[in-house]
């Protein structure tokens, strides 16, 4: 084997290379958050703040990061978060991303605003696919997409609940960002889509589109509408509190994603790693809790799993990889994160995911011993 490419040792290479390649407004749309970007920064800061407690003299000659999630066997707990319009980053768009996810044995959540058809994505995928939904005013369009996803072999529906409207994304507003005309949310009726391609003074096409098409009246009672239309598991993405986690469990959802939308919605919302323990504590142990937001290394993945996440979803780094080298770039990002997680499991003395529990995470500065049970302030 020859020397390893320096790029494959550190995802920040992909970040810098993607920045050099992408037009400034597309870079800002991807990389940015909302408001003063406090939550965007806090997601990362929380991972930086937490420390691991390694155990020694444990046989780590074999490590294993595989798991079963909502009935699918996965080779890694690192999945791909739903993100709109992958063709902004590479001409093959979601098809390239799906191929790379399959190579890694990772789940991919395709977005309802995918720029490739659900059928093309499903044909390219060799691993499990879930479909993310926004609650559209046009319920007929939503029902049609759900039906197509089920027919194409998607295995779960992920309803995003933190976006009754789009957050105040100042970069997009300053840039008058609009999705270029040749890139389309091809799974939706095009008459629904016009606003996302119009840029306005002091606003963005994305924000205007959401105002027109997203139904902000969505409540817990509406979940039955989705349940009636599909037998697929339902996952809620955007849960940050014990109160909502409890309601999600009471409404029979199959999993929740602790997410603040990568700091793109409510600025000032708490970072996901800080929200995780209270969400985990509020739901039955059988209900899978996932996390996204700021996960950038295998160490981050281990921290999230130790604090109760069953799996994590990765956002922006996937798009960095896609922008740099299409399928190959995403495959390299996933391979890097998997290798980092493998090293972390071995060096932490917890060779399987099941060995990772709250005792692997240090209490806040000044505390010596682990707690008997995780607490909401662990690692805060």
Residues annotated as catalytic (active site), given as ranges: 261
Flag whether 316 is marked binding: yes
CA distance 98 to 87: 13
Q: Which is nearer to ligand FMN, 60 or 273 (CB)?
A: 273
The count of chain residues that interact with ligand LXCWX6NK, using the rule CB under 6 A, is 9
Q: Which is nearer to ligand LXCWX6NK, 99 or 261 (CB)?
A: 261
The site map against ligand FMN for 28-67 (x = CB under 6 A) is: --x------------x------------------------
Strands 67-69 and 72-74: antiparallel
DSSP per-residue letters across 182-206? T---TTS-GGG-GGGG---TTS-HH
Do 229 and 265 touch, CB atoms closer than 8 A? no
Flag whether 33 is marked binding: no
Check binding of 295 to ligand FMN (CB under 6 A): yes
Q: Which residues contact 211 (CB under 8 A, 6 or more apart)?
A: 165, 166, 195
Check binding of 237 to ligand LXCWX6NK (CB under 6 A): no
Do 262 and 43 touch, CB atoms closer than 8 A? yes
**From the list ligand FMN, ligand LXCWX6NK, none, which binds 259 (C-beta under 5 to 8 Å, kind-based)?**
ligand FMN
**From the list ligand LXCWX6NK, ligand FMN, none, which binds 299 (C-beta under 5 to 8 Å, kind-based)?**
none
**Exactly one of 184, 264, 296, 350 binds ligand LXCWX6NK (CB under 6 A); which one?**
264
Task: For tokens 């495959």, name the residue.
Answer: 331
The site map against ligand FMN for 202-241 (x = CB under 6 A) is: -----------------------------------x----
**From the list ligand FMN, ligand LXCWX6NK, none, which binds 39 (C-beta under 5 to 8 Å, kind-based)?**
none
CA distance 265 to 272: 13
Phi-psi region for residue 145, left (φ > 0), alpha (ψ -120 to 50) or beta? alpha
Ranges assigned E (strand) in 271-361: 289-292, 311-314
Which among 49-57, 205-213, 222-230, 339-347 is the span making contact with ligand LXCWX6NK, rule CB under 6 A?
Answer: 205-213
Instruction: For the CB of residue 24, give the shortest distance to ligand LXCWX6NK in the complex, in Å.
Output: 17
- Interhelix angle 316-347/11-21, rounded to 10 degrees, is 170
CA distance 131 to 124: 15
Instruction: For the CB of residue 249, give the shortest distance to ligand LXCWX6NK in the complex, in Å.
Output: 25
Check binding of 86 to ligand LXCWX6NK (CB under 6 A): no
Residue nearest to ligand LXCWX6NK (CB): 209
Instruction: For the CB of residue 167, give the shortest distance to ligand LXCWX6NK in the complex, in Å.
Output: 8
**From the list ligand LXCWX6NK, ligand FMN, none, which binds 209 (C-beta under 5 to 8 Å, kind-based)?**
ligand LXCWX6NK
Sign of torsion, CA 279 281 284 285?
positive
Flag whether 132 is marked binding: yes
Q: Which is nearer to ligand LXCWX6NK, 171 or 264 (CB)?
A: 264
CA distance 167 to 263: 9
Sign of torsion, CA 15 17 19 21?
negative
Closest CA to 361 of 284, 282, 308, 289: 308
Do 53 and 342 touch, CB atoms closer than 8 A? no
Check binding of 314 to ligand FMN (CB under 6 A): yes
CB count within 10 Å of CB 2 equals 4
Residues 119-148 that bind ligand FMN (CB under 6 A): 132
CA distance 214 to 234: 19
Check binding of 188 to ligand LXCWX6NK (CB under 6 A): no
Binding residues for FMN: 82-84, 160, 237, 259, 292-296, 315-316
Binding residues: 82-84, 132, 134, 160, 169, 237, 259, 261, 264, 292-296, 315-316
List interacting residues with ligand FMN (CB under 6 A).
30, 43, 81-84, 111, 113, 132, 160, 237, 259, 261-262, 264, 292-295, 314-316
């Amino acid at each position: 084997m020859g020397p390893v490419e320096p790029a494959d040792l550190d995802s920040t290479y992909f970040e810098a290379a993607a920045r050099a390649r992408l037009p400034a407004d597309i870079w800002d749309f991807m990389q940015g958050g909302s408001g003063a970007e406090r939550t965007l920064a806090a997601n990362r800061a929380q991972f930086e703040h937490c420390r691991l407690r390694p155990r020694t003299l444990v046989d780590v000659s074999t490590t294993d990061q595989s798991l079963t999630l909502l009935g699918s066997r996965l080779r890694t707990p690192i999945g791909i978060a739903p993100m709109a319009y992958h063709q902004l980053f590479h001409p093959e768009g979601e098809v390239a991303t799906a191929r790379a996810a399959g190579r890694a044995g990772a789940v991919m959540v395709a977005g309802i605003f995918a720029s490739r058809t659900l059928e093309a994505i499903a044909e390219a995928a060799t691993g499990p696919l879930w479909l993310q939904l926004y609650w559209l005013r046009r319920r007929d369009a939503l029902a049609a997409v759900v039906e197509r996803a089920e027919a194409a072999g998607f295995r779960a529906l992920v309803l995003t609940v933190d976006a009754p409207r789009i957050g105040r994304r100042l970069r997009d507003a300053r840039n008058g960002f609009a999705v270029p005309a040749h890139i389309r949310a091809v799974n939706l009726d095009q008459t629904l889509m016009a606003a996302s391609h119009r840029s306005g003074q002091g606003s963005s096409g994305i924000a205007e589109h959401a105002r027109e098409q997203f139904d902000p009246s969505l409540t817990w009672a509406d979940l039955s509408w989705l349940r009636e239309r599909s037998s697929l598991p339902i996952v809620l993405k955007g849960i940050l509190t014990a109160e909502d986690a409890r309601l999600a469990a009471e409404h029979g959802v199959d999993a929740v994603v602790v997410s603040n939308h990568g700091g793109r919605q409510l600025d000032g919302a708490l970072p996901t790693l800080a929200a995780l323990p209270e969400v985990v504590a509020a739901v039955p142990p059988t209900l899978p809790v996932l996390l996204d937001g700021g996960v950038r290394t295998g160490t981050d993945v281990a921290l999230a799993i130790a604090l109760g996440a069953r799996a994590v979803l990765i956002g922006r780094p996937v798009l960095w990889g896609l922008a740099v080298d299409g399928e190959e770039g995403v495959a390299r990002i996933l391979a890097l994160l998997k290798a980092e997680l493998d090293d972390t499991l071995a060096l932490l003395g917890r060779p399987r995911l099941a060995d990772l529990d709250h005792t692997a995470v240090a209490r806040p500065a000044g505390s010596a011993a682990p707690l008997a049970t995780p607490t909401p302030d662990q690692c805060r």
